[in-house]
């Protein structure tokens, strides 16, 4: 089943064309890595899927519905620096706040909401730290909190913006294992990252983006140097080939 269907999408920001004719389909259980250089439009594409940006052309559907119709139900993990870590709340409240749109701003969370939060914190290994003020968390712990916020929604689609940046190995392993499990549970997942080894390890498909979709294929099939040249302005090196699991590739 196709969960995310991006078709012929163009986005203009401040009069500049940032995305042109972008088509991307993500099925339930698929993990797709959105890869591209700085300024390629990766975050812009995620924001368009969230319904935060108007489309200049094309359409986006999430299981047949528009982004506006599913607002607040997509599990979005923003880049860590985008979150207000100086807000005086603890970990549990920060995750609960992620459910605010679903609960309703003026209503109290119910038992099901609290269970969803507890389960999400358990899955990211943060249950013990649930009373810790978010301002006192390390970078890796913050990343776990952001993932828990998305998980607590129990979404069909998760969008993670640069989740691997600045993580130590244990936290990165926890996150990659969790993403694989979520894929096995049938979630559709899109990750933007500059960490090519992590993306190749966890993603079944890589979508190379540079304003347009340059390529969209399983990591091991992306061995054509010309594709990388068009996406990044650099050739496919031996190191790149090894990363993608083709050490013997030309």
Residue 231 beta carbon to ligand ATP: minimum distance, rounded to whole angstroms = 11
Please give the helix or strand (H or E) that residue 214 lies within, else none.
strand 212-217
Place of tokens 């499990």: 181
24 binds ligand ATP (CB under 6 A): no
**40 is a contact residue toward ligand ATP (CB under 6 A):** yes
CB of 133 to ligand ATP, least distance (A): 28
Q: State the CB neighbour count (10 A cutoff) for residue 36.
A: 22
**Residue 81 Cβ vs ligand ATP, minimum distance, rounded to whole Å:** 11
Q: Report H helices in 165-213.
A: 169-184, 196-202
Three-state DSSP at 13 gives strand
Binding flag, residue 18, ligand ATP (CB under 6 A): yes
38 versus 169: smaller Cβ distance to ligand ATP: 38
Q: Is 117 exposed, middle or buried (0-12, 13-18, 19+ CB in 10 A)?
A: buried
Structure-block tokens of residue 130: 């649930």
Backbone phi, then psi, for 77, in 5-degree steps? -110, 100
Q: Which of 44, 176, 193, 241 binds ligand ATP (CB under 6 A)?
A: 44
Name the one range near ligand ATP by CB under 6 A: 39-47, 110-118, 174-182, 217-225: 39-47
Q: Does 39 bind ligand ATP (CB under 6 A)?
A: yes
Comparison of 229 and 247: residue with beta carbon closer to ligand ATP: 229
Q: Which token pair is 106?
A: 């003026």
Q: Write down the least CB distance from residue 192 to ligand ATP, Å.
A: 6
CA torsion 206-212-215-217 (nearest 10°) is 40
* Size of site (CB under 6 A) for ligand ATP: 11
17, 83, 66: which is closest to 44 by C-alpha? Answer: 17
Nearer to ligand ATP, 134 or 231 (CB): 231
Query: Where does this chain bind ligand ATP (CB under 6 A)?
Result: 13-14, 18, 36, 38-44
């Amino acid at each position: 089943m196709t969960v995310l269907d991006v078709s012929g999408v163009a986005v203009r920001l401040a009069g500049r064309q940032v995305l042109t004719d972008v088509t991307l389909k993500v099925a339930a259980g698929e993990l797709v890595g959105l890869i591209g250089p700085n300024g390629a439009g990766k975050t812009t594409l995620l924001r368009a899927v969230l319904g935060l940006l108007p489309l200049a052309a094309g359409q986006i559907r999430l299981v047949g519905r528009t982004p506006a119709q599913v607002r607040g139900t997509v599990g979005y993990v923003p880049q860590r620096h985008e979150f207000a870590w100086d807000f005086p709340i603890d970990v549990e409240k920060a995750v609960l706040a992620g459910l605010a749109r679903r609960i309703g701003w003026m209503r109290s969370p119910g038992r099901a909401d609290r269970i969803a939060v507890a389960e999400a914190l358990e899955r990211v290994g943060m249950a013990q730290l649930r009373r810790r003020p978010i301002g006192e968390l390390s970078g890796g712990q913050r990343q776990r909190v952001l993932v828990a916020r998305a998980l607590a929604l129990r979404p069909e689609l998760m969008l993670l913006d640069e989740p691997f940046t600045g993580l130590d190995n244990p936290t990165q392993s926890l996150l990659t294992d969790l993403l694989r499990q979520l894929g096995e549970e049938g979630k559709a997942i899109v990750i933007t990252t500059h960490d090519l080894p992590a993306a190749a390890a966890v993603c079944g498909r890589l979508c190379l983006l540079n304003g347009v979709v340059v390529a969209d294929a399983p990591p091991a099939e992306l061995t054509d140097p010309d594709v990388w040249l068009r996406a990044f302005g650099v050739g496919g090196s031996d190191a790149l080939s090894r990363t993608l699991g083709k050490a013997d590739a030309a």
